Amino acid sequence: MTFVLASASPRRLELLAQIGLTPDRVVPADIDESPRRAELPAAYAERMAREKCAQIGRQCSAERVLAADTAVAAGRRILGKPADAAAARRCLGLLSGRRHRVIGAVALATPGPAASGRAAGPAAEPAAEPARIAVRVVQSTVTFKRLHPDEIDRYIESGEWRDKAGGYAIQGRAAIFVRRLSGSYSNVVGLPLFETWSLLEGAG
């Protein structure tokens, strides 16, 4: 399966490698990731994945492009990547003793007949839009135990919260915070593997 990955996330590369997939190239998307006013978490994750896919799909119009996004939601509130330790502390305080959702969206752009005849790569003549973008949205539910302030302090000191939606990594030290998980584990890490494989396999 040949494709371009529109993400610089090392976690997504590791997850793809877990199922025997390696992208031909990694071309990170650069889009505005600010939520829109009153935008719901699932709609936000889907829009982010679609916009990343479309942006890199225009650059690499003769290739399949895979993009993804992960949103952590406490109710209707989207918890993004904390800007600093204080923001990470607020995220963990909000998640402590509560159930939250992790919404993952994965998108695959496939070239049309005209685009597939062009030379591949960013230097190729861009198409107006990829011929088709298919999106799958997945939801997992995670329940945290009640966190003691000392536990939050130690986690903040570890630095593991950096560049993590919701301020934690389930595959790291935060695993001990999780009382219950319903749904896809790989989705919580950063990429729903069943849906990703299905999209790529369906594209041929």
Which pTM was predicted? 0.88
Read off the pLDDT band of 125 (50, 70, 90).
very low
Phi, psi at residue 107, to the nearest 5°?
Answer: -130, 145
* Catalytic one of 24, 69, 84, 150: 69
**DSSP H stretches of helix in the chain:** 10-18, 41-59, 85-95, 113-116, 149-158, 185-189, 193-203
- pLDDT for 127 equals 45
Residue 59 to residue 132: CA distance in whole angstroms: 15
Read off the pLDDT band of 203 (50, 70, 90).
confident
Mean pLDDT lowest for which of 78-82, 102-106, 118-122, 163-167?
Answer: 118-122
Name the architecture of domain 4-203: Alpha-Beta Complex (3.90)
Active site residue 69: yes
Q: Evaluate if residue 18 carries a pLDDT over 90.
A: yes
Read off the pLDDT band of 20 (50, 70, 90).
very high
Mean pLDDT score, 132-157: 98
Mean pLDDT score, 30-53: 97
Cα angle for residues 160, 162, 166 (degrees, 5° grid): 95
